[in-house]
Structure 1
Amino acid sequence: MNFFQGEIFAIDKPYGITSFKALAHVRYLLTKKLGRKVKIGHAGTLDPLATGVLVLCTGRATKRIETLQTHGKEYEATLQLGATTASYDREHEVNATYPTEHITREAIEQALRGFEGEIDQVPPTFSAVKVNGDRAYALRRAGESVELSPKRIRIDEISLTRFDPVTMQMDIRVRCGKGTYIRALARDIGRALGSGAYLTSLRRTRSGDITVADCVSYEGFQDWLDRQDIEYDLQ
């Protein structure tokens, strides 16, 4: 492998850290191994509470990041019905509860069908979307109100893989295009069901042709790196 000329690989980002921190960890180990800094970036941010495929590009391959970000992605998510949070996930406490007695598996499956195809989605206000040069999440944390415009996204397929009528939790699998916020999708599914919902877990299982099975573990990256046949040619 030649990380200077350019390599594309992926790590399985663990729960609880930002994509930036995961990238910094890999950059540190690469720099230590190679004896000099190498350019590196990622092709698609994962929230701190999300896990899974984080595609990384080094050297000249960083020029492909923008293209890689347009590739389709696949997620597995768990939603809690009957409640909402400000961030649409577990990062914030529940701020409202809603009735769920009317929700059935059939109602969920019917609601999900309405999200397939090209739809307009309002991004979460706790997100990196910029508002007049500032990140939306920074404005929210400063106590300011934020209104974001809807963006056109594409959901190729969404399916219900589990529904527990006792706990009111449901699992979905989503295949989608660039710019889709699964947290916002959870919010909208709750509304479509005449209730509320927020994300309790999220795992990116595929980005383009790269799946979780192709990923290097975050904790085992050093061992993986030590096993590689590395070229040090800068040209």
Structure 2
Amino acid sequence: MPKVGSSTVNCLFGIIKPSGPASMSVVNSLKPLLSSSSLFYAENLKSKKGGNSKKFSKRSLKHMIKIGTGGTLDPLADGVLVLGIGEGTKQLGKFLDCVKEYQTTCLLGCETDTYDSQGIRVREAPWSHVTRTKIEQVLDSFRGEIMQTPPIFSALKMDGRPLYEYAREGIPLPKPIPPRKVTVHSLEVVDWLEGHSHQYQWPEKTMSATAKQKLKQAVAGITGSASSTALDDDPDPKSSTDDTDGGDDDKPHPPAFILKMTVSGGTYVRSIAHDIGHAVGSAAYVVTLTRLRQGDFTLSPEKDRDKSCVPWEVFEQAIKENENDEETADKDEQGHRKWENEVLDKLVLYEPSNSS
């Protein structure tokens, strides 16, 4: 456990983000908790409203600790999220371009506007011909240095606007979405899930004619658009539904496949799943996504330099304690609460005086 003084602790540590909330929502829920701790900012103990450590006035919000992330995760995604505190935020840039490891579950036979399960259904495609072997046979074309086109439903900006605004508002893209060079260091199928062995279903909501028209307007005049296939007519539904088991109400039960990959910064896992679906003559989108590693921070430490992450449940409990009455929370002989000891055990101190 690193030794810390009574002033601001400048550090990095990893948390295990849950699926559901956006990364910044997680950060915002943590900020009052961390700011209430003398571990991170002793001066905050003097700036609390009425001396109550769990309440902050608008004026005292300026005393909140400085906190940032080393790259966000989609709301759907869970796993490693690196946080920087105080001057430790200056080290976060290196986590944007570092090697990352992911595991993702991809469902066949359907394409969504966002390439994941939080989007809406825009296209169905045949899937009964796809096997694990067929998936594995196309993976070589996705390994190594590849050119990848980000999805139009992403936060990347073009001429100052996020790409998703062009798609949702029907604003023509001023130019094609530029492909980017990324590196897929490793990529493998780690499991194959037959249709009735999983609970995943295609989204019920489909793209409306109005939304589809707006998407057409956004990509009008741009050939080879990453989103052009979303505008294709649906194939014969009989070709995309497996009825060999007498499925209930003709609901599709396509298989899913689980990929594990190690990639460079800037790689879109959603795009890899989407493009693999096309490569096997079908469609696919992400239904689960876990970041297993970001730099040295990992869910499963194996090497001496590996850093483990603080489970989100630890913070959930601490936030509840703060909302009730922080003073009744159990503390050790050093005056640290459970969550503070968890962070202390896993943080990496950053000394500004040693920075360049």
| Alignment TM-score, normalising by the size of structure 2 | 0.61
Q: Trace 1:92-171 onto structure 2 (pairs within 5 A).
A: 92-146=119-173, 147-166=176-195, 167-171=254-258
Greater CA drift, 104-113 or 76-85: 104-113
Unaligned segments of structure 1, at least 5 residues? none
Q: Which has the larger radius of gyration?
A: 2
Contact conserved, 2:13 with 2:343, CA < 8 A, in 1? no
* 2:339 maps to 1:224: yes
Contact conserved, 2:148 with 2:180, CA < 8 A, in 1? yes
Q: How much does 1:192 deviate?
A: 0.8
Contact conserved, 2:66 with 2:86, CA < 8 A, in 1? yes
SS at match of 2:92: helix
> Are the structure 2 counterparts of residues 29 and 139 from structure 1 closer, same or farther at C-alpha, using a change threshold of 3 Å?
farther
What do you get for the CA RMSD once the two structures are aligned? 2.2
Contact conserved, 1:104 with 1:165, CA < 8 A, in 2? no
* 2:15 maps to 1:11: yes
2:96 equivalent among 64, 69, 82: 69
Q: How much does 1:135 deviate?
A: 1.1
Contact conserved, 1:10 with 1:56, CA < 8 A, in 2? yes
Q: Percent identity?
A: 36
Tell me the matched-pair count: 233
SS at match of 2:36: helix
Q: How much does 1:107 deviate?
A: 1.1
Q: How much does 1:95 deviate?
A: 1.5
Aligned to 2:33: 29
Aligned to 2:24: 20
Q: How much does 1:144 deviate?
A: 3.2
> Are the structure 2 counterparts of residues 165 and 145 from structure 1 closer, same or farther at C-alpha, using a change threshold of 3 Å?
farther
* 2:263 maps to 1:176: yes
Q: Which whole-Å CA distance do the structure 2 matches of 1:173 and 1:43 have between them?
A: 21
* 2:84 maps to 1:57: yes
Q: Which has the higher helix share?
A: 2
Unaligned segments of structure 2, at least 5 residues? 45-62, 196-253, 301-307, 319-337
Q: Trace 1:176-195 onto structure 2 (pairs within 5 A).
A: 176-195=263-282
SS at match of 1:89: coil
Q: How much does 1:138 deviate?
A: 2.9
> Could you give the per-residue CA deviations for residues 77-136 of structure 1, whole angstroms, max 9, x where no partner exists?
000111100000011222111111221221111111211101011111111100100111
SS at match of 2:273: helix
> Are the structure 2 counterparts of residues 227 and 15 from structure 1 closer, same or farther at C-alpha, using a change threshold of 3 Å?
closer
> Could you give the per-residue CA deviations for residues 25-67 of structure 1, whole angstroms, max 9, x where no partner exists?
2222111224242211100110001001000011111111111
Q: Which has the higher strand share?
A: 1
Name the aligned partner's letter for residue 27 of structure 1: K
Q: Which whole-Å CA distance do the structure 1 matches of 2:119 and 2:171 have between them?
A: 16
1:207 equivalent among 294, 300, 313: 294
Contact conserved, 1:80 with 1:197, CA < 8 A, in 2? yes
